[in-house]
A and B are shown apart, each in its own frame.
Chain A
Amino acid sequence: PVTAGSIVVPYGHVIGNEKWRGSEVAQRLQGKVRLIFEDGLGLVDFHLSNRTSLLLISEADLVAGEEFKRRLVRFRNASSLRGIVIVEKTQISDQYYLGVQKLVVLELGMVLLPVANQGETSQLIIQLVSFCVREQSRDHGSNPFLRKQRAQLAEPAVLQTVQQIPGVGKTKALLLLQQFGSIHRLCNASINELEEVVGQTAAQQIYTF
């Protein structure tokens, strides 16, 4: 069956395709993640969460030819899940890597991560699972690459920007902002209004800017 649909993954668990039972990857995952095997996962090798599924491409798949490409395209067309592809990049399969990367990342918009062997695959899965769990628990603070929405005072930045106007240094910038309040109002000030705050020359410069 060619299924790629969603599946309910219990919190903190990984659901593996039955075909991986007893494999080196599965053995190395035992004890590190809570692994459940299920039949009929179709195209997907492991479900890491309700949203994230994993497809593995072995060195042999790469050497064998195009079949794995059809599988990836079928997954992409059938599923809206986030697809992570782990590929075995070895001395033998290295020559195919750039082509695979172009297809998976640039054309299909999926994630591609290279590993050297099944041992590395399982290590990587363990890390991916740990981040999936954090995501589900909404523990976003622990991801160092997610932007933290912290309120920053705009005052120093506004002052800095006004100083980019030719002829305006820190003192004049401060005077102008105290008088006009915002860059928007400063831009709409008449030359007479500007002259009241700074000298005639500077007012002219600001007005023409």
Chain B
Amino acid sequence: SRGPVEQGPALCVLADSREVCSGPGVISCLRAEHGLRVQVCALGTSDYIVSNRLAVDRVLQSELQSPGNRNKLSQRLQRLQGSFERICVIVETDRVRPGETSRFFQRTQYYDGVLSALVQAGIRILFSSCQEETAALLKDLALLEHRKDAAIQVPTEPEGHRQDVLSFYLSIPNLSYGAALNLCHSFGSVAAVANSSVPALAAGARLGRPQAEELHRFLRHDFEPQLLPQPLPAKGK
């Protein structure tokens, strides 16, 4: 079943730098087992970006069990919905630490409520029992998106001047890392982006219509200094 990956250039997945610590098994398995190109970068919003439109968050089952995490998770997923057309959550079974007997998973009403809310919000849910399975699911998703012509196909490591341009695009609200990379490669300059129409932005950045409209609006937004919150926000938020 690994056949399709080996044809042509390797599929590319972007991984958030935090995943190097929290999911090392996922990243190494994606590279070694499935032959994917994994680019680690500061995504900030999601754990993985699998295509131009799909973001994947890896969540431990225990995190869905405790109401304490609810705000964090909902803020995260709401932000993702601002930047991506599709969102998937992989619910991974917690690892049993050495010396710990396998904990019995006590399913709570709260847990069922979280799942129901995710379903109703149109967020795709996959279940995994370990990091290796999570990697296999990410590969399946990347492959599926590739078949639908949504794969990430631009170089993921801009150099020199392009790095500054990338930081510029990344600072735009609700613009995903993938869309920023696409802007870098599809347009010769920032001015070309600023002068583009909504359809041209959608095509060049591989964005959906609403996101392209938001980007267009942002670039042409008329700045009103009086509307800045007082005192001015500190540099770097």
Contact = CB atoms under 8 A, between A and B. Distances in A.
Interface in B186-221: 190-191, 194-195, 217-221
B232 to A, nearest CB: 7
Nearest to A126: B112
Contacts of B141: 106
A153 interface: yes
Contacts of B144: 106
Contacts of B227: 153, 155
Nearest to A132: B120
Contact of A113 (B125, B228, B237): B125
Contacts of A131: 113, 116-117, 119-120
Contact of A187 (B107, B119, B194, B228): B194
B118 A145 contact: yes
B112 A184 contact: no
Interface in A144-190: 144-148, 152-161, 163-166, 169-170, 174, 177-178, 181-184, 187-188
B115 A164 contact: no
A147 B225 contact: no
Given A116-B107, A187-B195, A84 B119 contact: yes
A170 B232 contact: yes
A172 to B, nearest CB: 12
A156 B144 CA distance: 38
Nearest to A207: B191
Secondary structure dominating the interface of B: helix
Given A145-B123, A161-B168, A113 B115 contact: yes
Contact of A143 (B120, B126, B237): B120
B225 A177 contact: yes
B229 A156 contact: yes
Interface in A86-143: 97-98, 101-102, 105-106, 111-116, 120, 123-124, 126-128, 130-132, 134-135, 143
B117 A124 contact: no
Contact of A160 (B115, B140, B164, B237): B237
B218 A154 contact: yes
A128 B168 contact: no
Contacts of B120: 131-132, 134-135, 143, 145-146
B12 interface: no
B218 A145 contact: no
A144 B117 CA distance: 7
Contact of B219 (A143, A144, A146, A183): A183
Given A155-B225, A158-B223, 9 more contacts: A101-B126, A123-B107, A131-B116, A159-B228, A160-B171, A165-B164, A177-B225, A187-B190, A187-B195
Pick the 9 closest A-B CB pairs, nearest first.
Answer: A144-B74, A127-B112, A187-B194, A145-B121, A147-B81, A164-B168, A187-B191, A177-B223, A131-B116
Interface of B: 70-71, 73-74, 77-78, 81-82, 107, 109, 112-113, 115-121, 123-127, 133, 136, 140-141, 144, 164-165, 167-168, 171-173, 190-191, 194-195, 217-225, 227-229, 232-233, 235, 237
10 contacts: A84-B119, A98-B136, A113-B125, A126-B112, A143-B121, A154-B218, A156-B228, A163-B235, A188-B191, A209-B165
